[in-house]
Amino acid sequence: MKEYDHTEIEKKWQKHWSKKGIYTSKENPKEPKSYVLDMFPYPSGEGLHVGHPKGYIATDIYSRFKKMSGHNVLHPMGWDAFGLPAENYAIKTKTHPRDAVGKNIARYKEQLSGIGFNYDWKREINTTDPGYYKWTQWIFLQMYKKGLAFQSNDPINWCPSCQTGLANEDLDDGKCERCGSVVEKRPMRQWVLRITEYADRLLTDLGNLNWPESIKESQRNWIGKSEGAEISFKTKDSSEIRVFTTRPDTIFGATYLVLSPEHEFIQKNERKISNITEVIQYVEKTKNKTEIERTAVGKEKTGVQLKGITAINPANNEEIPVWIADYVLTSYGTGAIMAVPAHDERDFEFAKKFDLPIREVVVPNIIDQRNPPVAGKKSVERRNIHAIVRDPKTGKYLAIKWPKFNWITFPMGGVEVGESPEVAARREVLEETGFKNLKFVKVIDGQVRAEYFATHKDENRVAYTTAVVFELENHEQAEIDEKEKAQHEVTWIEEKQINYEYMTHAEANFWRDRLPQKFSQYTGVGFLVNSGEFSGKESEQVKKAIVDSVGGKMVTKYKLRDWVFSRQRYWGEPIPLIHCEKCGVVPVPEKDLPVKLPDVKNYAPTGTGESPLAAIEKWVHVKCPTCKGKAKRETNTMPQWAGSCWYYLRYMDPKNKKALVDPKKEKYWAPVDVYVGGAEHATRHLIYARFWHKFLFDIGVVSTIEPFTRLYNVGLILAEDGRKMSKRYGNVINPDDIVATYGADTFRIYEMFMGPFTQASAWDTKSIMGSRRFIERIWRLAEKVKAEGVQPNKKLETLLHATIKKVSADIETFSFNTAVSSLMILSREFEDASEVAVNDFKILLQLLAPFAPHVTDELWTSLGNKKTIHESMWPTFDPAKIVSDTVKIVVQVNGKVRDEFEIGVSAEENEVKERALSRENVIKWLNGAVPKRVIYVKGKLVNIVIE
Ligand code: ANZ
Ligand code: ZN
């Protein structure tokens, strides 16, 4: 047999497949379908580096596997080619973006073809193609007609360097995601899409999607649904300030109001604000801060009181001051809050800094599990103190044993009317222990409410308890009353014994948590105190009643903002609207679509808030479609994200001139069954596309409510130095070189074998040889193959069937690395066997075919097969031939069981550990922590230790 020559083999098969058209997909209602989609690339001038194809290799494997399993597969590719990079490149080099894009696409295609992908190129699409963007414009028009596209003059994010408006989704930590400049707020005319109308559906329908939990979670957070109330606070001069709060139950603790610095109240009441100069200075200062800088907990709080303005808390009619502070944002809720420093961290930081009153109105409630209240017994309310006295010499704490009840408590007792907690605590310590020289340390902030059954009194108690902390100055003791002495004895306990296990009262756990801290506000729910008629009630139960009592209303708010949809740049889809002097905004008639992007001499942004299109007189001036009078075209263009909102539909029917997609074709192919791309698209493309899809569903263009059923995120491939691969760092590896040196099959195997598909891994040219040797081994195996007279080999047979099962299951779940590893094990077993039956070898080739399509086809046909291996049927396994082929592995994180999974008995330690670490549940529990140790108990358990 001749040497393995990858170049020759790969060229030959690529040509053959394309000539035979084996990847052309057609609707075929008789066959089940599989729509397998990559997020289509933006064809940049730099070409592909080895990181890009990772996801494409995965979908290629998956779609080849599906095809061999009898599915009719749609696996297309196209180009997302509008946007700033091409335009910036055009400005720099004075070439038309269209030419640059054309060149880049040709280059990308060449690179992709070298890797042997099975795309149906007959369905290639390009978002900058007028035949394509005609339909992008058409969808926009339908939205406009339904009132979902509107003009606004609100201040938007403006990137001073890219010279265009941006949507919230285009910001990264308050900076332009493209160039890193701090964005400004600029009022300007723009088109906005009412995505908020779909907020609730975007949220609810996430539930049914088979997507990574992390992506769903970031969408939930981005949508940010809050149920709360709007409440109006009157000011003394009878204007009003409306606040949004999720905790109306805390209103009795609202000791001041805070407005966002941009709040319109300030302008409207300028003359009443006596320190207006100071206020205006502050407003100016906040302009340069990003939202994150403004709102982070722990950031130094700033603000200015509006002197001369006093508000009235409608719950208790108290007069309270009004402040402005940048931790309140204009764009959320009503842009104003009622501050409840006792129960909100940011309000607390602010109140401490500016010495504003803090009033506790919610206390946590605990039901004593060892002595729960007994139904039918009377209930008595108490106000108690616990005295926590530490002896600094020993570090121990003063406690009391009550032999009769078998109790261990702190010195404790009731608080008398008018008595301060400190005085009451000193009294109890003296009476019960005789210690008299105590240095006051602090009152632990926040009472605790506890419900229990007081056995000795045969009654239920509701105790509101405060703890007072002291240090013992010396051991001088007064005489203790004989009666007291008989009841209890003094003892000292360790700090770690302050807990409910060791001590009698359930409050102990709260004191333990709050002892070391200066303050920890209670931000949870509980029972109300200091809240007038609502005191003693459960906070969650009375929200609505409180809102009613102050004339407020319950509302739902979303963090999601409407989508700022205009860009003041050249290289995008023209917005198909016309401004007529008489008729106002008039949509371009559908028969006149597409509105083609005209050529300009100068692509550079004007910076005036107009796009370069505004300068093309001939294009701008048109007749009004309605009255035929003088009118002008809209000159803003659509954002980069428009074309990718619906491209997956166009692949189903790319050439259709009459419709965006033929309904019959749509019904057959939709939805996308598996979608693969980068996690960075969690909140932009993936929310926008879901929004457009739902709209298209509403107008009857699509038949499903969601576009993408299952989603996988590609883990990054980092450079050999562990950094991101980038021209800037000079660490880019070009797939062309790898393909030329080692072959596409080796390249594909290597990328899938690097590690779990969804996790990041660093490129390592040295280890490619391992994958290459694997393919060479397969090549040599062919020489051993015998058609007849092979002795039955039980061990090999079992392994073969187990491998069919495993590889099938692994491809289905995108566990490509473990699939490759089991193929490697099988190939070694073949190598060790003295002879190999041709039918067994064929199965190995078939299992390997999706991963290494060229070499397997070469060997397959050399065995006398007429059709290519990719048209053969995926092998099936015989369960009877696999004896107990899997074991259940339990995964613990820090000793607690968090997950379990099945894995082949023959799985090696590394594989088991890797699988454990890549489980979604486990990732959740690790929460970003790097494991210190990973312990494997063979065939049973993986324990991941993070602390
Ligand atoms: C009083 C209160 C008491 C609040 C309490 C919280 C805890 P989410 O859950 O994110 O919706 N808030 C309202 N509008 C704001 C704005 N424009 N900028 C900054 N903060 C704002 O948060 C809602 C809570 O965030 C609201 O409930 C309000 O503070 C604050 F113990 O009102 B709360
Ligand atoms: Zn008109």
Ligand 1: residue whose CA is nearest its atom 20:
328
Find out whether 666 and 710 touch, Cβ atoms under 8 Å. no
Q: Round to whole Å and give the CA distance between 386 and 909.
A: 54
Coil, strand or helix at 188? coil
Ligand 1 atom closest to residue 340's alpha carbon, by position in its atom list: 3
What is the reported pLDDT for 283?
93
Structure tokens at 723: 């950094």
Find out whether 443 and 421 touch, Cβ atoms under 8 Å. yes
Q: Round to whole Å and give the CA distance between 49 and 66.
A: 27
Structure tokens at 83: 């946007």
Structure tokens at 900: 């379990």
* CA-based nearest residue to 259, from 188, 333, 323: 323
- 348 Cα–ligand 1 center, Å: 13
Amino acid letter for position 786? K
- 246 Cα–ligand 1 center, Å: 6
- 311 Cα–ligand 1 center, Å: 18
Q: Report which bound ligand comes closest to the CA of 625.
A: 2
Ligand 1: residue whose CA is nearest its atom 12:
337
What is the reported pLDDT for 400?
95
* CA-based nearest residue to 725, from 58, 40, 49: 49
Residues linked to residue 185 through DSSP beta bridges, in sequence order: 157
Distance from chain centroid for Cα 680: 9
Helices (H) and strands (E) in the chain, counts: 28, 44
- 217 Cα–ligand 1 center, Å: 20
- 616 Cα–ligand 2 center, Å: 21
799-826 pLDDT tens trace: 999 999 999 999 999 999 999 999 999 9
Q: Which residues surround ligand 2, an ion (CB under 5 A)?
A: 580, 582-583, 624, 626-627, 629
What is the reported pLDDT for 182?
84
Find out whether 57 and 115 touch, Cβ atoms under 8 Å. yes
Residue with tokens 């339904």: 146
What is the reported pLDDT for 107?
94
Burial class (CB in 10 A: 0-12, 13-18, 19+), 499: middle
Verify cis geometry, omega within 30 degrees of 0, for the bond prior to 594.
yes
Ligand 1: residue whose CA is nearest its atom 10:
226
605-652 pLDDT tens trace: 777 778 889 889 999 999 999 999 999 999 999 999 999 999 999 999
Find out whether 247 and 340 touch, Cβ atoms under 8 Å. yes
Q: DSSP readout, 746-794?
A: HHHHHHHHSS-TTS-EE--GGGHHHHHHHHHHHHHHGGGEESS-PPP-H
Ligand 1: residue whose CA is nearest its atom 27:
245
pTM of the model: 0.81
Find out whether 235 and 322 touch, Cβ atoms under 8 Å. yes
- 337 Cα–ligand 1 center, Å: 7
What residues flank ligand 1, with Cβ below 6 Å?
A: 226, 244-247, 250, 260, 328-329, 332-333, 335, 337-338, 340, 343-344
Q: Report which bound ligand comes closest to the CA of 586.
A: 2
Q: Round to whole Å and give the CA distance between 668 and 665.
A: 5
The phi and psi torsions of 464 (rounded to 5 degrees) equal -100, 115
Q: Which of 246, 299, 326 to mutate to test the pocket of ligand 1 (most atoms within 8 A of CB)?
A: 246
Which ranges in 434-538 belong to alpha helices (H)?
482-487, 508-514
Measured CA to CA in angstroms, residue 704 lies from 38, 86, 206, 586, 679 at distances of 19, 34, 14, 31, 24
Which ranges in 69-204 belong to alpha helices (H)?
84-93, 97-114, 130-145, 199-204
Give the relative orientation of helices 744-753 and 768-781 as an angle to the nearest 10 degrees. Answer: 120
Strands 761-762 and 717-718: parallel
Find out whether 127 and 136 touch, Cβ atoms under 8 Å. yes
Nearby residues of 598 by Cβ (< 8 Å), 6 or more positions away: 613, 616, 618, 619
Q: Which of 222, 291, 337 to mutate to test the pocket of ligand 1 (most atoms within 8 A of CB)?
A: 337
Find out whether 340 and 260 touch, Cβ atoms under 8 Å. no
Ligand 1: residue whose CA is nearest its atom 33:
245
* CA-based nearest residue to 374, from 460, 455, 456, 450: 460
Residue with tokens 């007072």: 468
Q: Round to whole Å and give the CA distance between 854 and 785.
A: 19
Rg, C-alpha atoms of the chain: 35
Find out whether 581 and 631 touch, Cβ atoms under 8 Å. yes
Give the relative orientation of helices 909-918 and 816-832 as an angle to the nearest 10 degrees. Answer: 170
How many CB atoms sit inside 10 A of residue 272's CB? 15
Q: Which residues of the chain have pLDDT under 50?
A: none
What is the reported pLDDT for 726?
82
Ligand 1: residue whose CA is nearest its atom 19:
328
Amino acid letter for position 105? I
Provide the sign of the torsion angle of the four alpha carbons 164, 168, 169, 175, taken in this order.
positive
- 225 Cα–ligand 1 center, Å: 12
Residues linked to residue 934 through DSSP beta bridges, in sequence order: 944
Amino acid letter for position 430? L
Q: Round to whole Å and give the CA distance between 105 and 48.
A: 11
- 244 Cα–ligand 1 center, Å: 7
Q: Round to whole Å and give the CA distance between 176 and 187.
A: 17
Q: Report which bound ligand comes closest to the CA of 313.
A: 1
